[in-house]
Structure 1
Amino acid sequence: MNEFNLINQRKQDHINAVLQDSGVDRQQTGFDQIQLRHCALPEINFDQLDSQCELFGHTLSFPLLISSMTGGSGSQLEKINRHLAEAAADQQIALAVGSQRVMMDSAEAQSSFTIRRYAPKVPLLANIGAVQLNYGFGLDEAKRAVNCLEADALILHLNPLQELIQPEGDRNFAGLCAKIELLAQNLPVPIILKEVGCGLSGQDIQRGLDAGVRWFDLAGRGGTSWSRIEAQRAHQPGQQALGLLFQDWGYTTPQSLHNARSFQDQARFIASGGIRNGIDMVKSVIMGGYVCGVAAPFLSPALQSTDAVIQTITEFKQAFQVAQFLVGAASTTDLFLNDALLVQP
């Protein structure tokens, strides 16, 4: 199997794992241990609630980003991204695509990422793996990824655990900071450093800042475990066992938000990883998430239709606004980094 077919099949394997193995969603985020302050006299008209925020020059109806999922050759992968893009446009939220490595040598795969036509006025985020900067990728490939989407920013995803468990994983993460800095200096759109389910430490954030990055997607553990997914694809029993052993490795999203707290005046942070409803979103914004990334809950709807995705977005928005109202916050600005809205232990 050539590299293109291998990568494309891997994307399909990932989707199948999420759909078929309920244990992939670890349900260990820690959000249930965080209590919001209830306000019985909010002094707000719910119908005048302001849940909007700005992201890369676009106004979002509420701070939701459909986080990176997929893309590649095949009608199913193309259908998923189209449904997500159409729903994002309809509901005025942001959308990130999955890794675009697969499109670099395939015009057929590229079409699944050509989604600006479906979402002309919302933020779209391109995506390549940071480790690929050690395997032949550079400024040209980054620009191709951005231009394909007409993207507002480029995600460089960080996935060292996934790569170690993945049978065909790339393991050389040495010297990436200098290469990230080179991209940050020359790419015409912002770079977002994103983990894929293990969270970011303060050291990670500082290294990103030193490289000129000002956006970070924390992507904590407790939601989708990519270590567990890759364990299912492993050919050797020892590698399968290793993937399961590390399936709960890393920082949760609340822990990652805590790690990011001292950097809030230098960068913006996307809270993602195990966010499963609008209440989790409100908690994340209060703890410093500028917007909230959600992926897994949108996969099944995206396989069905644009309307199914819209319905799921609507459910997130309704819960977000009810929780926002019940803590007495008239706007998302009133939520952001407002520790007074949390019940302290």
Structure 2
Amino acid sequence: MISDRKLEHLLLCTHSDVEYHKKTGFKDVELVHKALPEVNQEEIDLSTSLLGKELDAPLIITAITGGHPASEIVNQKLARAAGKLNIGLGLGSQRAAVENPELESTYTIARQEAPEALIIGNIGAPQMELSSRAAEMMDLDALAIHLNPLQEAIQPEGDVDSRGYLENIQETVKNTSIPVIAKETGAGISGNDAQLLETAGIKAIDVAGAGGTSWAAVETHRSQDKSMGELYWDWGITTAASTVEVSQSVEIPVISSGGIRNGLEAVKALALGADVVGMALPVLKASYQGEEILQDFFHNFINQMKVAMFLVGASNLEELQNTDLVIQGKTREWLQERGYDTKIYARRSSL
């Protein structure tokens, strides 16, 4: 059953090795230190907006769970944190509740606990015919269509016929009254695909790059034959490379997620062109330790972001995207081979 699979995914992500061995690529990104920052760290402004919703920090708890009774308490904790901090919250796939309305409370609890927060619903690309019912389930600010071809290919019960997805996305955008987001699930989005999604009417893109949770790894733990999942464990475009590709290719907002584990990496993602950053696994693990630990996690994370911004002399996010950084190593090699300009970041503060 789908509901049982949701619980299995939660437990595996919390207790098993499910992260990429190949990491995010952010180690190849060096922010240029400023010895004269001319900024008061205590006055750094992290506020921004996404899809018309004001956020106190450019953070989203990206899609984690829902669809099993045990997931209701998780979404309750996450929603409380999102409401208190005024950051975004993404729900897990709503398919389970569309097919079994008794499970709706595992999702609707989020809006009950965070009436003013940015809340993003979720439906899988193979189930786009359910998007209207998912959007109507609760008061959502946006609906994410999650793209998970890697997971589907490895999953024993996966749907591997992806023909017509782009056309279906266009129809979903036309027939949905709220903004529609495209979201990968951990293997990244290329600039080419981002352009197709923007043309289809998508209003924001979550790159969800390689470096965080590997759904090939998750499905490896679920499968009796582990050879396929082990082979494709590290498949995908790293988060750093995907963030650059997408931000240089489209005009719509970019969400950078996939293995971001601290405030320094978040600032690097924003400096590369992301509008907001997302996290899932570390937030899930913190939530299991209690709401106080979860709040502490975010406060520490935000403080780490402010230190990085102080050290590059950025008092707000707009200034951050005009600071200098250098892209090195495999990330530079990838981007240059793909035709993306990596030099534009290095001296942009002097332009």
- What TM-score comes out, normalization by structure 1 length? 0.91
Q: Which residue of 2 aligns with 1:190?
A: 179
Which amino acid counterpart does residue 193 of structure 2 have in structure 1?
A: D
Q: Which residue of 2 aligns with 1:293?
A: 278
Q: Which stretch of structure 1 is more off in the superposition, 91-100 or 141-150?
A: 141-150
Shift in Å, 1:128: 0.3
Which amino acid counterpart does residue 302 of structure 1 have in structure 2?
A: S
Q: Distance in 1 between matches of 2:214 and 2:202?
A: 26
**Is the Cα contact below 8 Å between 2:187 and 2:210 reproduced in 1?**
yes
- For residues 279-318 of structure 1, the aligned pairs below 5 Å read 279-318=264-303
Shift in Å, 1:288: 1.0
Shift in Å, 1:59: 1.9
* Superposed CA offset, 1:275-324 (max 9, x none): 01111110000111110010000112222332222111112111111111
Aligned-pair identity in percent equals: 39
**Is the Cα contact below 8 Å between 1:124 and 1:149 reproduced in 2?**
no
Question: Residues 23 and 214 (structure 1 numbering): CA distance in 2 closer, same or farther, change over 3 Å?
Answer: closer
**Is the Cα contact below 8 Å between 1:17 and 1:24 reproduced in 2?**
no
Q: Which residue of 2 aligns with 1:158?
A: 147
Q: Distance in 1 between matches of 2:280 and 2:68?
A: 20
For the residue of structure 1 that corresponds to 2:182, the secondary structure is strand
1:37 and 2:20 matched: no
1:102 and 2:87 matched: no
How many residues are matched? 327
- What TM-score comes out, normalization by structure 2 length? 0.89
Q: Which residue of 1 aligns with 2:349?
A: none
Structure 1, unmatched stretches of 5+, are 1-5
**Is the Cα contact below 8 Å between 1:281 and 1:320 reproduced in 2?**
yes
Question: Residues 189 and 23 (structure 1 numbering): CA distance in 2 closer, same or farther, change over 3 Å?
Answer: closer
Structure 2, unmatched stretches of 5+, are 329-351
Extract structure 1 runs of 4+ deviating beyond 6 A.
none
**Is the Cα contact below 8 Å between 1:224 and 1:273 reproduced in 2?**
yes
For the residue of structure 2 that corresponds to 1:155, the secondary structure is strand
**Is the Cα contact below 8 Å between 1:58 and 1:121 reproduced in 2?**
no
Please tell me the root mean square deviation across aligned C-alpha atoms, in Å. Answer: 1.5
1:341 and 2:327 matched: no
**Is the Cα contact below 8 Å between 2:20 and 2:234 reproduced in 1?**
no
- For residues 107-126 of structure 1, the aligned pairs below 5 Å read 107-114=101-108, 115-126=110-121
- Given candidates 59, 68, 75, the residue that maps to 2:63 is 68
Shift in Å, 1:23: 4.8
1:149 and 2:138 matched: yes
Which amino acid counterpart does residue 80 of structure 2 have in structure 1?
A: E
Q: Distance in 2 between matches of 1:152 and 1:311?
A: 26
Q: Distance in 2 between matches of 1:330 and 1:321?
A: 9
**Is the Cα contact below 8 Å between 2:154 and 2:229 reproduced in 1?**
yes
Shift in Å, 1:43: 0.9
Shift in Å, 1:261: 3.5
